[in-house]
Structure 1
Amino acid sequence: MPYWMKSLWLPFLFIASVQAAPLQKIFTDWQITCNNLNYCVARNIPGDNGLVMSLSRYAGVNDRPLLRIDYGNRYTGDLKGAALQDNLLLDQQRLRPDFKHWTVEPHHLVTAHPIAIDEFLTQIIDADNIQITWRPQSTISLHGLKAALLLMDDIQGRVGSLSAWVKRGSRSVWDVPPEPAAPLMRLPGRPAAPLTREETTGLIDYGTWRVNADECSLDPMRREVSVAPLTDSKALLLVSCEMGAYNMIDLAFEVTRSQPWQSRRLTLSLPFASPGRNDRQLEIINAEYDAANAQLYTYAKGRGLGDCGIATRWQFNGQEFALAEYAEEGTCDAWHGSDDWPTLWVSQRPSPP
């Protein structure tokens, strides 16, 4: 029996896979993020010096590892300088990996080859830093890399196996827990009927003037109100209630589509505790609703640049909103935008009939 299976036997119960709690954690100069499927990605921080190395890996046997070194990103654009391939230093000495199984571009080095990744990690894992010969201030600190990869191995059940990146042992590469199944989203039975002009006008008026001032501090004349159909009898009302420099805090209500208006405050509850917080209630910020797909989006910027923060997507299932996707970048270092933030929660949609 595989080692990981033995650890999962309980009286009268067998657990098919191990699902760790989503996390985002920093070890010195490395940040690691793992989601509900035990997919993990680690990168050096901060990335605002232009040079970043990242490693990602899926859980299970089909781990699809990926290692990349990038100089420049969407914020910096193309940077000047010689090719990375011939100009890397490891602790002030020339670093010359075997690039046979790498995709080599002037400022981007990428490999998904397991042996190439193992060989590269063996070279660098106990070193201090990687630099560029012609721009020494662009540095990849390696302090914290080993701890981040050890945590990744631990979450994916690889410690003591031949597939571990840090504490490798004699267990077979096949002897690892499978990837947990992604939560299956439940969709509404059918699309809600579009709002009529009268319904829209009445609901916007209700949201602008009749929402309790104790709940919404923004002056009614400055509120932004949007309405969309949830069901044939209920609508979603989004009211902007507090304005910041780059974020708008919204209140969400489920409201009847006909008078007399009856509303119920909606809250969004996470299925896990997000990094650094104990409260599972998510504040609704910069919300947008896609009525065609019955999905609610939130986007909380950590700063005006939009390089850090929290982005979520929620699926309305006919009764409530369930979390479909949660991405967070806790490090504000001008490395990537919200489309590339690491995920802590993912799901799958039902297959078409």
Structure 2
Amino acid sequence: MSYWMKSLFLLPFLLVASVHAAPLQKTFSDWQITCNNLNFCVARNIPGDNGLVMSLSRHAGGNDRPLLRIDYGNRYTGELAGGPLKDNLLLDQQRLKPDLKHWSVEPHHLATAHMISIDEFLAQVLDADNIQLTYRPQATISLHGLKAALLLMDELQGRVNGMSAWIKRGDRAAVDVPPEPEAPQMRTPGQPPTPLTRDETTGLIDFGTWRVNADECSLDPMRREVSVAPLSDEKALLLVSCEMGAYNVIDLAFEVTRSLPYVARGLTLTLPFVPPNHGDKQMELVNAEYDASRSELLTFSKGRGLGDCGNATRWQFDGREFVLAEYAEESTCDAWHGSDDWPTLWVSQRASEETVDAGAAAK
């Protein structure tokens, strides 16, 4: 079968994949790659606790905005001593001197978004074993797994056998790639709900305390905490701490009427995908916080006390249910970055007023 016939058979699959991108986080030897629901991917070497990390990121579609970075040190390590990277990098024990004409050059940080410069650098390093610092040999970037991670990135973004591919490059035009999937639109319930009165708060907390005593929670009743916030002018969100670990608290959530007689409905969070290292789409409320002014529920699960790994989510209440707005996860506990820099597996955008009005009119 000719290449063009194969391409015709492959094209529908690529178009479907571009519309329904499945998030993933995988490890290939010493490299981790994460791709979100828009097929934006970022790959980095692991572990990063030796202080030296190389990362490559790229968006899907023709406007790919690639970025290659080499960083020595982060917020966990603080400022590290030593000479500038541009003069002190070795590639397989030989001096590495990339052409830095189109790079941003700082003493311990190198970065470029210039496609030709990225291609030239990858051509130098793809088949090598490692990059390391002259003055700190243990600060090493293993290159084992880089090629496999970038090949997966090319495949997910539909670049294989095209001129924009990083690994399996071909003759297909660089712009001949599936478009970037559209981000889900998040609808808000409109005006923030009326704040709870003191009597409402007291009554709901008393009810929550009674309700928790009827549930199976490992946390001692005397140590349980109950918090309430307005969901709407008629209903409130009740959060009850149920289990506690060294640095995580698991909550139960209920939607409760704001007036007597109280009617409660248990709430569950269901993800639109199965996250890495998880068995299903059900999400526990870990270290949950609710911002009534924005109708947003936040969770933050630490993989360990340092807070350098775990997952963080943001859920939007749309007037009926909580819908996932953002999900970030770092599976590797290597003191490289905090939750604000964890790679995303799901992103969304807030619907404009025009979009919301059009949707309401259609109903």
TM-score, normalised by the number of residues in structure 1 = 0.96
Counterparts of residues 49-88 of structure 1 (less than 5 Å): 49-88=50-89
Structure 1 residue 209 displacement after superposition: 3.1
**Secondary structure of 1:211's partner?**
helix
- Equivalent residue for 1:152? 153
Rounded Cα–Cα distance in structure 2 between residues aligned with 1:35 and 1:277 = 16
Structure 1 residue 351 displacement after superposition: 1.9
Structure 1 residue 219 displacement after superposition: 2.3
Rounded Cα–Cα distance in structure 2 between residues aligned with 1:184 and 1:331 = 30
Name the structure where helix makes up a greater proportion of residues. 2
**Secondary structure of 1:228's partner?**
strand
Q: Does 1:7 align with 2:4?
A: no
Rounded Cα–Cα distance in structure 1 between residues aligned with 2:47 and 2:17 = 38
Rounded Cα–Cα distance in structure 2 between residues aligned with 1:245 and 1:49 = 26
Structure 1 residue 9 displacement after superposition: 4.3
Letter in 1 for 2:315: W
Does the 8 A contact of 1:191 with 1:231 survive in 2?
yes
Rounded Cα–Cα distance in structure 2 between residues aligned with 1:102 and 1:332 = 29
Structure 1 stretches lacking a partner, 5+ long: none
Structure 1 residue 276 displacement after superposition: 2.0
- Equivalent residue for 1:45? 46
- Equivalent residue for 2:227? 226
Q: Does 1:268 align with 2:269?
A: yes
- Equivalent residue for 2:340? 339
Which runs of 4 or more aligned residues in structure 1 lie more than 6 Å from their structure 2 counterparts after TM superposition?
A: 1-5
- Equivalent residue for 1:103? 104
Letter in 1 for 2:310: G
Structure 1 residue 231 displacement after superposition: 1.1
Counterparts of residues 173-192 of structure 1 (less than 5 Å): 173-192=174-193
**Secondary structure of 1:289's partner?**
strand
Rounded Cα–Cα distance in structure 1 between residues aligned with 2:149 and 2:16 = 26
**Secondary structure of 2:334's partner?**
coil
CA separation of 1:103 and 1:2: change in aligned 2, threshold 3 A: farther
Rounded Cα–Cα distance in structure 1 between residues aligned with 2:272 and 2:154 = 24
**Secondary structure of 2:350's partner?**
coil
**Residues matched between the structures, number:** 350
Does the 8 A contact of 1:238 with 1:252 survive in 2?
yes
**Secondary structure of 2:167's partner?**
coil
CA separation of 1:74 and 1:16: change in aligned 2, threshold 3 A: closer
CA separation of 1:97 and 1:181: change in aligned 2, threshold 3 A: same
TM-score, normalised by the number of residues in structure 2 = 0.93
Structure 1 residue 4 displacement after superposition: 6.6
Structure 2 stretches lacking a partner, 5+ long: 355-363
- Larger mean CA deviation between 317-326 and 204-213 belongs to 204-213
**Secondary structure of 1:101's partner?**
coil
Q: Deviations over 1:175-218 (max 9, x none)?
A: 00000000001211332111111000111111123324433232
